[in-house]
A and B are shown apart, each in its own frame.
Chain A
Amino acid sequence: MSDAPAAEATLPDAARPRLLRGVRVKHDAVRGMDVLLAPERALKLDPIGAAILAEVDGTRSFAEIVARLAARYNAPAEQISGDARTFLVSLIERRMAEAA
């Protein structure tokens, strides 16, 4: 559909993701769930998304985040890596997160 090549957001293992200013997780007591609040947007967080964001602090690398999630949830790192990368890249593309 597009007339120009799309820019691709990437998230290398060594990159340190963080939420941008104005983007934050809140526990929504009325709906009984975590939500990600951002300019003009509110995203419902499932437990996986909430768990990923709980490890994102701007100092940990993506590889460290995956390792911590793998240890905590006793799950294969490859699978966690795929889920976490897809999720975080989607936030980067929507200008809710960045990686340095």
Chain B
Amino acid sequence: MTEQSRPDTARAVAVHPPMAMLAELTHRCALSCPYCSNPLEMTRRDTELSAADWAEIFAQAAEIGVLQLHLSGGEPASRRDLEEIVASAHAADLYTNLITSGIGLTEKRLDALEAAGLDHVQLSLQGVDAEMADRIGGYRGGFERKMAVAGWIGARGIPLTLNAVMHKLNLDRLPETIELALAMGARRLEVATVQFHGWAARNRAALMPTRAQAREASRIVREARARLRGRLVIDYVTADHHADYPKPCMGGWGSTGLNVLPDGRVMPCHAAHTIPGLDFERAPGRHLGEIWREGAAFNAFRGFDWMQEPCRSCDRKGIDFGGCRCQAMAIAGDPAATDPVCVKSPLHARLAAEAEADAAAEGAELTYRTNPA
């Protein structure tokens, strides 16, 4: 009865079956959040996989041991065939989670998704009121619509997680965020502090929380977890640029999960395209199991052999796996370097100083994500 979200830490480069798959069904979205996790260069609509292709990928995923499927985007509800896609995921016996802003969902569509076998909805939150949420999402009326969708989800009894993306501009309203999750009847709340990849990296001065904000958020989460045990589960992604040790990215590269782009390219994580030289093979043409086991991109940072010092001899290497490869690439210019978040990285002092400077910046403009052609 142990949590299976982490792999064995003492393994050699044995390849275990993946637990979870993130399917980016489209990069189209009504919102244009300045921290969007989609690539800077998005997949065009005319190269998106068909529902039939996705059905084949889901069957392959189930065959190789994927249990949890996260249907994401962009906004997955931008696809008119989302209901058909959910039905095929359910038919493959995958646990099916819809990650949505709510925009594009109606009561009728929720009924159809429920009938198709949807297991769970993860609703994103940009702020606790329309002023903040619509400013961050860059979409007027988005907050009001989201609140309506949350009500429809609650009325149907569909299990709900609220995913609140937090940063400098809204972190001070974390207590209200927790109250909103309770009012919506959410079982789970993800307090996800922005991670500075991709679009977010263009908005560091606007979004980087202060160290004091990060510390206060940790205290509030700790208090709320104890107070709300049995009512609301809170998952917490910390502000890693103010931390001493890096996040255990993906629970170890190529060990737990995989990510499929709208055109079928399969990546070890959603930012892996920022690492030059990695070649991403396409499903369903090539079987997902072959890509997972044999794909060069999946084997690039699997296990520990790729590590340099100080990771190689570090007693934490089985805990955080050297941190995030994409962050190592972005900041150290070497995807096999120690994640500069780590205090043992020679670049840590510079990273911490830059985080402090960005956190102190006031009035920076937001650079919004754009939509694919």
Contact = CB atoms under 8 A, between A and B. Distances in A.
B233 interface: yes
Given A22-B119, A43-B3, A95-B187, A4 B97 contact: no
B223 A93 contact: no
Contact of B161 (A6, A39, A45, A48): A39
Contacts of A43: 1-4
B229 A7 contact: yes
A41 to B, nearest CB: 7
Contacts of A95: 187-188, 230-233
Nearest to B121: A39
B11 interface: no
Interface string B1-12: 111110000000
Interface stretch (B62-70, B130-138, B201-209, B356-364): B62-70
B227 A7 contact: yes
Nearest to A94: B233
Contact of B122 (A1, A26, A40): A40
A82 B93 CA distance: 33
Contact of B17 (A3, A6, A30): A30
A39 B17 contact: no
Interface string B67-80: 11000000000000
B38 to A, nearest CB: 20
A85 interface: no
B227 A6 contact: yes
Interface in A56-78: none
B350 interface: no
Interface string B112-141: 000000011010000000000000000000
Contacts of A87: 1
Contact of B187 (A1, A35, A39): A39
Given A2-B223, A22-B159, A31-B17, A93 B230 contact: yes
How large, as a class, is the contact surface on chain A? 20 to 34
Contacts of A93: 229-230
B17 A40 contact: no
Contact of B226 (A6, A40, A46, A94): A6
Nearest to B157: A21
B222 interface: yes
A20 interface: yes
A39 to B, nearest CB: 4
Contacts of A39: 97, 119-120, 122, 159, 161, 187-188
A5 B229 CA distance: 10
A20 B187 contact: yes
A97 to B, nearest CB: 10
A15 interface: no
A40 B222 CA distance: 20
B223 A44 contact: no
A2 B5 contact: no
Contacts of B65: 28, 30-31
A20 B4 contact: no
Contact of B230 (A9, A28, A31, A44): A9
Contacts of B223: 2-4
B329 to A, nearest CB: 27
B44 interface: no
Interface string B174-215: 000000000000011000000000000000000000000000
In the A-B complex, list the 9 residue pairs whose CB atoms are closest, starting with the nearest: A2-B226, A22-B159, A30-B65, A95-B187, A9-B230, A39-B120, A4-B227, A3-B223, A37-B95
26 contacts: A2-B226, A3-B222, A3-B226, A6-B227, A6-B229, A7-B226, A7-B228, A7-B229, A9-B229, A20-B187, A31-B17, A35-B4, A39-B122, A40-B97, A40-B122, A41-B3, A42-B20, A43-B3, A44-B2, A49-B1, A93-B229, A93-B230, A94-B233, A95-B188, A95-B230, A95-B233
Given A21-B157, A37-B119, A39-B159, 11 more contacts: A6-B226, A7-B227, A22-B119, A26-B95, A30-B63, A30-B65, A31-B17, A42-B67, A42-B68, A44-B2, A95-B233
